[in-house]
Structure 1
């Protein structure tokens, strides 16, 4: 009988890289094209269409460029009571939520500023997804605190 691969090391930390999703970039581009088509198909006067068409195309391209140029981020969720870090900055509160194949990370840093990241299916492979699920369970347990028997 073949040996199973070594199991996940419970004392290892979860290290994940976030990067912009090409899938989301394609959807943003499609929304931009549809916005221009909506302006062209509207019943507005020609001079309004001539103003709004290029404006909607410019806004879509700026949004797409801004999203795709976001730098990669490095998330580390250590095992145990240690606080998670994002790009070396300690996160005061950190929460992972799942909605279908999407993973949402919401946090507050030490200064109280909020932040969030979303991992799309094309940016988080199956192994990393499992790793994040296990680390997120550990985060939830450490946030609630240890239960005490009375």
Structure 2
């Protein structure tokens, strides 16, 4: 029994979370505060505190600038779509859920590794379930004929 192409495809968009940059800035400020409250000499304490705060802001800015992308699934497996590109296949995708966070790790052609994190403000429960099912489903090879059971 052949399935319709509409039921075998899906698309999940990834965009940078608004929560993560805020958390990184807060962690940078808390790190600076902890350095200031430490017993380090004042000549070391001030530069180290400034460095901790600046690093939090730098990481937050880097996260905010992440380009949005989409994960598209179909009969050929999962692919990542960036803008108008055709899309690179995701090799051996693994999904890990840690509380409200959903983390996708997969290989890309050329030996690169893709890591995407969906925060609760970017992916709802239905989207998490859809992604979980897509990663768990066996990859269909379009070259091999389907075996009837």
Q: Please classify the TM superposition score into its range, dividing by the shorter chain length.
A: 0.7 to 0.9
Aligned length: 135
**Do residues 67 (structure 1) and 63 (structure 2) align?**
yes
Q: Does 1:86 align with 2:63?
A: no
Distance of 2:47 and 2:107 partners within structure 1:
41
| Structure 1 segments (4+ residues) deviating >6 Å | none
Which structure 2 segments of 5+ residues have no match?
Answer: 82-86, 141-145
Match of 1:115 in 2: 114
Structure 1 CA distance, aligned partners of 2:49 and 2:64? 23
Tell me whether 13-22 or 129-138 shows the greater mean CA deviation: 129-138
Contact 2:93–2:135, Cα closer than 8 Å, also in 1: no
Query: Are the aligned partners of 1:93 and 1:109 in contact in 2 as well (CA < 8 Å)?
Result: no
TM-score (structure 2 length as normaliser): 0.79
Return the structure number with greater helix share.
Answer: 1
Partner Cα separation in structure 1 for residue 73 and residue 96 of structure 2? 15
Distance in 1 (alpha carbons) for counterparts of 2:109 and 2:66: 22
- TM-score between the two structures when normalised by the length of structure 1: 0.78
CA RMSD of aligned residues (A): 2.5
Q: CA deviation at 1:135?
A: 1.5
Q: Which residue of structure 2 aligns with residue 142 of structure 1?
A: 139
